[in-house]
Structure 1
Amino acid sequence: MNLYQSLGYLVFGSRLRRMSETFLAEINRIYQNEGIEFDASWFPVFYLLSKNDSLSIKELSEQTEVSHPAASQLITNLRNRNLVETTVSADDGRRQMVKFTDKGRALLTQILPVWDAISASMAELAESDEAIKEILPAISAMENTFRTYNLAGKVSDKLKPMRNEKV
């Protein structure tokens, strides 16, 4: 058992971040090996736009559960690469609508088979081990619980008796 495994929940976030960084680096290596100039961090926007003609930056922000400034920054990056374009909404002049450029649609065509291959390969990996099969349901359960579980409050409640003992 390594240090991270032995520390349990104390390093839970660090382990998730390390696993995420490792996974995303591997995904980026797949795109690189295929000669496709695509970054895994663009996936949520590309996926959502592949299912919609256009979306507002606010809609992208809400659906990807990132802040509006973070979504806006990603859209600016993709716009600078000529992969998406933004226009003012016809309904509301304050809303910026995002859609693929021709270059973005061409890139989407290249990456769709990669997504299918990644999904199939990850399904094979999950089938290889019962514990791995449970990872996505476990992550979903943790995400859902964190929406309502006040961890900081629970920890504070546990620390109060300890603080009172010192007084």
Structure 2
Amino acid sequence: MKDSLQEFGELGLGSRFKRLSDYLMKETQIVYNTLQIQFDPYLFPIFKIIADQNIVTTSEIQEQLHYTQPAITQGLQKLSKKGLIRYKTDTKDKRKKLYQLSSQGKKTHDQLVPVWQTIDKQVKWVTEGSSTSLTRHLTYMENQFKEKSLSKRILENIRQQP
């Protein structure tokens, strides 16, 4: 059966990445469920930053992930409801919340680390199946879009057409 997104070429790239992202999240959730780890793969980036840095603010997470403030807040609320993180108010600036793993979050993190290592290994194996890896291509693309946004590139090109 044909895959129309593949046939769309570069026009279908965003949709293909979305499809791949959804697939990776679904498959990761299957792994977590099978291993009886109560964790949502969509919360991984925020959770990992908190685990790696011990104490972190919303702004620091946002700077590192380049997510919107509402997305960060929503992720933090979900992690908090699951009992995986807690926060305390900064003693110097009462408006700041300092997030860290709860004791349950630390236990969950300990369960997740070997799983993440295996996921990383398997995804690397799949993406490095050719001479260069997909992650290198994505990094290149992201860097190009940081230099000049896709919308700017498209609009400049359209304006140059007769």
Same fold (TM over 0.5): yes
Instruction: Say if 2:51 and 2:100, in contact at 8 Å, map to a contact too.
Output: no
The residue that corresponds to 1:146 in the other structure is: 145
Distance 1:101 1:87 in 2: 11
In the alignment, residue 130 of structure 1 is paired with which amino acid?
A: S
The residue that corresponds to 1:80 in the other structure is: 81
- Residue 139 of structure 1, CA deviation: 0.1
Moved more, 88-97 or 151-160: 151-160
- Residue 28 of structure 1, CA deviation: 1.0
CA separation of 1:158/1:85 partners in 2, compared to 1, >3 Å: closer, same or farther?
A: same
The residue that corresponds to 2:29 in the other structure is: 28
Instruction: Say if 2:56 and 2:99, in contact at 8 Å, map to a contact too.
Output: yes
Distance 2:120 2:149 in 1: 34
Q: Deviations over 1:20-49 (max 9, x none)?
A: 101111111111111111111111122112
- Residue 161 of structure 1, CA deviation: 6.1
The unaligned stretches of length 5 or more in structure 1 are none
Moved more, 88-97 or 20-29: 88-97
Instruction: Say if 2:127 and 2:135, in contact at 8 Å, map to a contact too.
Output: no
2:111 is equivalent to residue 110 of structure 1: yes
The Cα RMSD (Å) is 1.8
CA separation of 1:150/1:125 partners in 2, compared to 1, >3 Å: closer, same or farther?
A: closer
Q: Deviations over 1:109-133 (max 9, x none)?
A: 1111111111222233345x215x4
Moved more, 134-143 or 36-45: 36-45
Structure 1 counterpart SS, 2:91: coil
Distance 2:135 2:142 in 1: 10
Identity of matched residues, %: 24
- Give aligned pairs, total: 161
CA separation of 1:50/1:9 partners in 2, compared to 1, >3 Å: closer, same or farther?
A: same
In the alignment, residue 137 of structure 1 is paired with which amino acid?
A: R
Q: Which one has a bigger Cα radius of gyration?
A: 1
CA separation of 1:35/1:156 partners in 2, compared to 1, >3 Å: closer, same or farther?
A: same
